[in-house]
A and B are shown apart, each in its own frame.
Chain A
Amino acid sequence: ETGVTQTPRHLVMGMTNKKSLKCEQHLGHNAMYWYKQSAKKPLELMFVYNFKEQTENNSVPSRFSPECPNSSHLFLHLHTLQPEDSALYLCASSQAVNYGYTFGSGTRLTVV
């Protein structure tokens, strides 16, 4: 398998639920990212990991908790989300930080 794979593709969760998004890249890249894309808005950078170390937390609420166990896997743990958190969550990777992004297909999250 190649590229960047995200699961699940779609997720509906209640505000009291806990869920996790998974991202896996098979490109040998060293940097991974979480982005949020809301309708009609630019992609918002959430987190950056470089060589498994978090180098950026873009003022993201604590109800979003990232985890990067190795340079190929990235998780986004979700708990007590709000309806305004409904969006497309995109994972991306690159060989070096912010160079040549490859995006996953995204997880379309709906919070009810």
Chain B
Amino acid sequence: RKEVEQDPGPFNVPEGATVAFNCTYSNSASQSFFWYRQDCRKEPKLLMSVYSSGNEDGRFTAQLNRASQYISLLIRDSKLSDSATYLCVVKGIRSNDYKLSFGAGTTVTVRA
């Protein structure tokens, strides 16, 4: 099983639509979770942290399900500018390991 696994997509959605996708992780003891955004041929940038109780940042909602070992990202009212690859990042994927592990990314394309 991959340490951090994501559906690569692409998710093609019209403007204004809602899109959601998950990421699974292999270690139930993992400590922290993040979503990063990476635009084409650019570097990854932190989008938001994921908290145990779930959290929102504008149109973006992140959820954590420890029992099933997945995190999710939901984007409401999609904008063209939301087109990007979304990287799931998990801290502490291995026991006693503080490092960040990245998923391969989920590509979202928002069309006019």
Contacts and interface: CB of A to CB of B under 8 A. Distances in A.
B104 interface: yes
A93 B42 CA distance: 16
A43 B101 CA distance: 8
The size class of the interface chain B forms with chain A is 10 to 19
B51 interface: no
B104 A40 contact: yes
Contacts, number: 36
Nearest to A40: B104
A47 to B, nearest CB: 12
Given A40-B104, A42-B103, A103 B44 contact: yes
Contacts of B105: 42
B98 A97 contact: yes
Nearest to B103: A42
A101 B100 contact: yes
Contacts of A81: none
B91 interface: yes
Interface in A90-112: 90, 97-98, 100-101, 103-106, 108
A106 B42 CA distance: 8
Contact of A90 (B43, B91, B98, B104): B43
